[in-house]
Amino acid sequence: MQKKLEPANLARPGGAYSHGLKVSCRELVFVAGQIPVDKKGKIVGVDPSDGLRYPINLETQIRQIYLNVIAVLEEAGASVRDIVRLDTYVAVSAMNKYREIGLKLKREMLQGSEFPGATVFVNTLMITNALLEIGELLY
């Protein structure tokens, strides 16, 4: 069971999240940080034939990450409705583009679910050509 916590003396959150979430549960499932890698282990959204400074398709990477998250949830017998926190790490180089499309894709791929979390902009990620990583805790 989940209950959004939105105190009357706080402004409504500006993004697709809630101030807090009260959760009753018997077990926890922790999802490791997911990166934009397909089933074959290949980074998606990258076309190396474009030379050394090829463009990276952020939308493709975001969609792949959410597909990976959904696969882990389904393996645990859960769904996006069970997520209780989501943290997103975005490369600074993708910050403006992420602000433009990230929220839209989150709402679309996670079916409008709202829960606490954070978006953190970082210099780089562990995997070359990955512009973001997403991890969460659910019940």
Please give the Cα distance from 68 to 70 (Å, whole number).
5
Q: What is the pLDDT of residues 11-44, one digit of tens each?
A: 988 777 788 888 887 788 889 999 999 999 999 9
What pLDDT shows up at residue 138? 64
Task: Tell me phi and psi for residue 3, to 5 degrees.
Answer: -135, 120
Residue 105 near residue 63 (C-beta atoms within 8 A)? yes
pTM of the model: 0.82
CA distances from 84 to 11, 30, 79 (A): 20, 10, 11
What pLDDT shows up at residue 20? 86
User: Which domains occur in the chain, in start order?
Assistant: 27-138 (3.30.1330.40)
Average pLDDT over residues 35-57: 82
Mode of pairing for the β-strands spanning 132-138 and 29-34: antiparallel
Please give the Cα distance from 123 to 82 (Å, whole number).
31
pLDDT greater at residue 76 or residue 135: 76
